[in-house]
Structure 1
Amino acid sequence: MTEQLRMPRVTVFSMGGTIASTDDDAATAGGVAPRLSATELVQAIPQLRQTAELEAAAFRQVSSGDLTLRDLNELAAEISKRFEDGVDGAVITQGTDTIEETSFALDLLVRGPQPVVVTGAMRNPTLAGPDGSANLLAAVQVAAAPQASGLGTTVVLNDQIHAARFVRKTHTSSPGTFRSMTVGPLGWVVEGRPRIALRPSPLEFEALPRPDDDHFPAVALLTCTLGDDLRLIGELERLGYAGVVIEGFGGGHVPGHAVPTLTEVAARVPVVLASRTGAGEVLRETYGFPGSERDLLSRGLIPAGFLDGPKARVLLSLLLAGGADLAAVRTAVRRFLDSAFAFRQKQW
């Protein structure tokens, strides 16, 4: 007698957002707000029962802009606990506004080969053509697939599979808003089957202990704009910030007049240099004028590599929360970049 194959176990964690939003409460004054639970989301999609043995967990019920790194740290601990209990994959539903940051935080915090998939919706259930059910079904199909093992945390929307370390939200309302500008998607879902075209190397990042829930130092994110005198840089330490991410122009440039202040701050707290463009890498050795990337890196700023400002802020925040000092941050960021930007082509 042939032994019956076990269906993969997948836990769906709901955290609110558009995918869980309805307008059945007069308090919303005609708008929608997150109210549907994880159980309600799962029960609305009969095809899920043919994909995995599902567990539904209502973790938060908020708009994604109200989530914090403390929430993500707690969620990562709960996901890890489920994996230890034999769960094969995890799916998180949430608002799309911060998916690029929350997914990256989970990529850094959750260890092990089991898939972690973050999804959401751009069209809420009260509209014609809501995309939440299709996105949740595709996310579970990815989380339940053996070929998704070892991908780290991914973002699945619009039938595309993106690595959390690269994905960005690029449009306010389009269902195709999520894109990985630097490398493209890892793969896609077709007829319920995930197709993985590229496999990023696993993050080798032992330097990131799980933070204490009560200790998340503040990290500022500043974007260079035309004519800004960047006076805030000199005030950040007084305001209690333990680190700074600067989104510079182009390949990583700032106005020359800001260089002396940045130099002083970078000698005391980590200052990470990213680009405001949202794609490509911070340059290291091309330009030599005051405020150029060569100038800034020689003065102690830490290059963010391919990370944009929001993701660089997540990385720096978690490093500081884990107790890293300035030297440890510099080493950890370099090690992260060395391990994160490597791919192996997948042969189907």
Structure 2
Amino acid sequence: MSVALFTLGGTIAMAGDRRLDGAALTAAVPGLAELGQPVEIQDIEAVPSANLTAAKMLEVVDAASKAVAAGATGVVVTQGTDTLEETSFLVDQVWPHSQPFVLTGAMRNPTLAGPDGPANLLAACRVACSPAARDLGALVVFKEEIHAARWVRKTHSTSTATFASPNVGPIGHVVEDQVRILARPTRLDGVQGSAEPADLDANRVALYTLTMDDDGLLLKGLADTHQGLVVAGFGAGHVPAALTPVLGELAAAMPVVLTSRTGGGSILRNTYRAAGSEIDLLQRGLIDGGFLDPYKARVLLRLLLATDDDISAAFAQYQ
């Protein structure tokens, strides 16, 4: 029995002009030796998280699955925080095991006073080997809070308390070295098909965020270059009335998912009827993104297009 640790670089591994590997990371964690299970390290690739790709994360998932098959009780991935909310959600869609898949990182690198990486890594390893964390899919552990991948967001550019789940809060905590799960969300159906890198590359999904006085010029010609679109609308899912015909035409040519740019709450379905409202847009064929934020909706739509899964059924789980 062991914890499988995969390292992908990021702030947690930045030590001046050099990158710390997994051995150096774990050596800096007081208490890890008393975990009760050995940590087996696989250094994958030391890159900023802005350079991570869906294909790379699927490779990590495959390697993690092999580790679980070999007897690992759980998985921990360290990476940069910039795309952590997206990578964790992608993992959650394809992780088929009951063993925890935990992602963590740091906001303060090891050369600074009070680096948060060692504490985050220790807490993540505790969660990964805890029976209480099984059957919860992918989790993000930061500042001893446990967040479900489907809700977690990076909410601050520099704070060590950056990760939060605006709609529900953390589902658990690590307290006095004990993993305490306070809420067990129902695990949703993930993507059923197998996404190949070539299929991901062939399915481009655009994200369009509405702004005041938006002329929609960037939407023109989108159907010629992309296979899907996520719209981050105002408030509960609204756009300027002048853009509704354009979005309706796009929805006839490709899947177009309607989300809210606010980062919290769901879009509405039956409240507003004016041109550009949620009723108008859904009647024009846009797909209800429910409680998914635009970034996670884009991850999901791209996976669904690459696997030919039922797009409407997949998004209905988040409504």
| TM bucket, shorter chain | over 0.9
- After superposition, residues 63-102 of structure 1 pair within 5 angstroms as 63-102=48-87
In structure 2, the gaps of 5 or more residues are: none
| 3-state SS in 2 of match to 1:247 | strand
TM score, norm. by length of structure 1? 0.89
State the shift of 1:46 in Å.
4.2
* Aligned residue in 2 for 1:218: 204
Q: How many residues align?
A: 316
- After superposition, residues 290-329 of structure 1 pair within 5 angstroms as 290-324=275-309, 328-329=310-311
* Aligned residue in 2 for 1:129: 114
| 3-state SS in 1 of match to 2:227 | strand
Q: Do structure 1's residue 284 and structure 2's residue 244 form an aligned pair? A: no
* Aligned residue in 1 for 2:220: 234
- After superposition, residues 1-348 of structure 1 pair within 5 angstroms as 8-24=1-17, 35-51=19-35, 52-205=37-190, 207-216=191-200, 217-238=203-224, 240-324=225-309, 328-334=310-316, 336-337=317-318
Return the alpha-carbon distance in structure 2 between the equivalents of residues 60 and 165 of structure 1.
25
In the alignment, is the contact (CA less than 8 A) between 2:49 and 2:81 conserved in 1?
A: yes
In the alignment, is the contact (CA less than 8 A) between 1:234 and 1:265 conserved in 2?
A: no
State the shift of 1:106 in Å.
0.4
- The alignment yields a C-alpha RMSD, in angstroms, of 1.2
Give 2:157's aligned amino acid.
T
State the shift of 1:24 in Å.
3.3
State the shift of 1:283 in Å.
0.7
State the shift of 1:266 in Å.
0.3
Give 1:62's aligned amino acid.
V
* Aligned residue in 2 for 1:343: none
Return the alpha-carbon distance in structure 2 between the equivalents of residues 310 and 24 of structure 1.
31
Return the alpha-carbon distance in structure 1 between the equivalents of residues 2 and 193 of structure 2.
27
In the alignment, is the contact (CA less than 8 A) between 2:223 and 2:253 conserved in 1?
A: no
| 3-state SS in 1 of match to 2:264 | coil
Return the alpha-carbon distance in structure 1 between the equivalents of residues 73 and 232 of structure 2.
38
Return the alpha-carbon distance in structure 1 between the equivalents of residues 292 and 58 of structure 2.
20
Return the alpha-carbon distance in structure 2 between the equivalents of residues 50 and 281 of structure 1.
43
Return the alpha-carbon distance in structure 1 between the equivalents of residues 217 and 17 of structure 2.
46
Give 1:17's aligned amino acid.
G
1:211-259 CA distances to partner (integer Å, 9 max, x unpaired)? 0122211100110001111122222122x21100000000000111011
In structure 1, the gaps of 5 or more residues are: 1-7, 26-34, 339-348
Return the alpha-carbon distance in structure 1 between the equivalents of residues 17 and 281 of structure 2.
53
Return the alpha-carbon distance in structure 2 between the equivalents of residues 285 and 319 of structure 1.
26
1:282-315 CA distances to partner (integer Å, 9 max, x unpaired)? 1111100001001101111001111100000000
Further displaced range: 10-19 or 39-48: 39-48
List 4+ stretches of structure 1 deviating above 3 A.
none
Return the alpha-carbon distance in structure 1 between the equivalents of residues 198 and 63 of structure 2.
17
Return the alpha-carbon distance in structure 1 between the equivalents of residues 226 and 177 of structure 2.
46
Give 2:314's aligned amino acid.
A
- Identical-residue share of aligned pairs (%): 49
Further displaced range: 224-233 or 130-139: 224-233
